Amino acid sequence: MSDLATVTIPAIGTSATIVVADKRLLERAFDVLRVELDAMDLACSRFRPDSEISMLNAAAGREVAVTPLLLEAVEVALRAAVLTDGVVDPTVGSAMRIIGYDRDFSCVAPGGPPIRWDLRPVPGWQTVEVNANRGSVRVPPGVDLDLGATAKSLCADRAAARAAAVTGTGVLVSLGGDVSTAGSSPDGGWIVQLTDDHADSLESGGPAVSILNGGLASSSITVRRWRRGERYYHHLIDPRTGAPVEAYWRTVTVAAASCVDANIASTAAIVLGPLALDWLDERCLPARLVHLDGRVATAGGWIADVEPGGAGGIHP
């Protein structure tokens, strides 16, 4: 009989799941997850007027003292921009607001009148100033940070690591399908089923992978979608244009040493489109990329798909 135990709750606009290798320790691990979720939401949610990032964005160019958590989150977002040459950029907040993603997605109207705006590149991550010694961040007037490409995965990494340290057992945390593991994995690894939408049921089909350690993340243009006029929008912005990414991949899943690194790469791959395969291969990042018509491509040594619950492997 398996000793694994799981709990799932709605959180930060998505679902949060924690799995422990020793069911006796589930409650302690879950308590850790709740603390990390609450802290990240208060620091990084641009949909809360009382969040740190909302106050930072409203500071009109003033240097703002921030908590260590927001400082870490901003530094992680800037690292993502450096690693991707700006393909993943945290200064997409204004572009998100213009296209209608200005509140928790459950509150975004599925349809509405057309949007008219001038396309332009986002301000760029280089405009953000971080002073680690003073624990401060400065964002120029008119620039809004959005940490959606990294904050959720950072939360998963933090929660998994801390829960494993507190309980002494293996832990898997999934936030909206972004997966982080810490501690010893179960025999055969952590089995994760892949779907376009993390909320799909296990009966929906889809391949499975086994993770021994590290993280796994998926980015998709199929889930957070809405219509304005005759045009459909999604939440992944191309910083080079300020508009939603032109669709090439439906979903990209990447395995890496951490959930943060996996999510940086999966987001970059969506933005890069046909250039993503070479980009992932050059960085030896195992990835599964699904075309709009459902055809599957792989990069970085991704092992062939297996049936759900099977013994395929991805070992970041």
Mean pLDDT comparison of 11-15, 180-184, 235-239, highest-scoring range: 180-184
- 311 band by pLDDT with thresholds 50, 70 and 90: very low
- Tokens encoding 60: 């009109």
**The CA-based dihedral angle spanning residues 181, 185, 189, 193, taken in that order and rounded to the nearest 10 degrees:** -40
The share of the chain scoring above pLDDT 90, in percent, equals 68
Q: Under CATH, to which class is 47-138 assigned?
A: mainly alpha
Neighbours of 49 (CB within 10 A): 9
Binned at pLDDT 50, 70 and 90, residue 313 comes out as very low
Please give the backbone phi and psi of residue 170, each rounded to the nearest 5 degrees, phi first: -70, 140
Domain boundaries, the chain: 47-138
Amino acid identity for residue 230 in this structure: E
| pLDDT tens, residue by residue, 118-155 | 778 999 999 999 999 999 999 999 999 999 889 999 99
Residues 22 and 168: their CA atoms lie apart, in Å, by 9
What is the spatial distance between Cα 293 and Cα 315, in angstroms, rounded to a whole number? 28
| Dist. CA 159–CA 239, nearest whole Å | 29
pTM across the whole model: 0.90
Separation of alpha carbons 289 and 293, rounded Å: 11
Q: Tell me: the pLDDT tens digits for 186-221?
A: 998 999 988 765 554 444 557 888 899 999 999 988
Of residues 164, 159, 214, 210, the one with CA closest to residue 188: 210
d(CA 232, CA 218): 21
Rounded Cα distance between 260 and 48, Å, is: 23
Q: Provide the sign of the torsion angle of the four alpha carbons 41, 46, 49, 52, taken in this order.
A: positive
